[in-house]
């Protein structure tokens, strides 16, 4: 089964809760805790990032039809889903985002890595539960990974947010 179709089938029921007052209140409370500070924008960022899974990788890529590199993916997702303009490399994004502790990180925040021997050389979008989405390389394209994977945990530099 196609990953995008599968994710759409899993996420869609969560987005369209029953319109009764009691269920709507429970849904809103849950969303607010998962996505604090601009909950609808954070949720849109995560959904858009998931929709990009399996897209191709292109060095310097910032467009849907040509593929993405790591910063291009983040730029595209933030602009299209939340209207937040970001520019530049992963290191430049790290400069404008506020550093936060792991216990303050929420879906929609950014995760940074040192993959090239220089600080903040790779960026991804945190989606919760210890996972992030990023444009990995030409072989794998856009994919989801676990932060505790040996490769990523050794290179992890921290969480940053644009929602503080």
- The CA distances from residue 57 to 71, 73, 153, in Å, are 11, 9, 22
Is residue 70 part of the annotated active site? The answer reads yes
Single out the catalytic residue among 18, 65, 134, 149.
134
| Spatial CB neighbours of 58, under 8 Å, sequence gap ≥ 6 | 66, 67, 68, 69, 72, 138
- The CA distances from residue 142 to 45, 52, 163, in Å, are 15, 7, 24
Single out the catalytic residue among 10, 18, 65, 70.
70
- Which region holds residue 54: left if phi is over 0, alpha if psi is between -120 and 50, else beta? left
Instruction: Supply 37's token pair.
Output: 């500070």
Single out the catalytic residue among 18, 65, 106, 122.
122
* Catalytic residue annotation: 70, 122, 134
């Amino acid at each position: 089964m196609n990953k995008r179709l599968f994710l759409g089938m899993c996420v869609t029921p969560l987005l369209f809760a029953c319109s009764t007052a009691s269920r709507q209140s429970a849904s809103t409370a849950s969303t607010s805790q998962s996505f604090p500070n601009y909950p609808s924008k954070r949720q849109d960022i995560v959904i858009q990032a998931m929709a990009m899974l399996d897209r191709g990788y292109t060095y310097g890529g910032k467009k849907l039809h040509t593929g993405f590199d790591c910063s291009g993916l983040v730029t595209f997702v933030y602009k299209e889903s939340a209207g937040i303009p970001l520019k530049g490399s992963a290191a430049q994004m790290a400069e404008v985002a506020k550093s936060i502790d792991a216990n303050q990180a929420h879906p929609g925040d950014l995760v940074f890595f040192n993959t090239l021997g220089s600080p903040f050389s790779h960026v991804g979008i945190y989606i919760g539960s210890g996972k992030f989405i990023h444009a990995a390389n030409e072989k794998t394209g856009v994919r989801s990974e676990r932060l505790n994977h040996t490769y990523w945990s050794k290179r992890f530099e921290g969480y940053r947010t644009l929602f503080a």
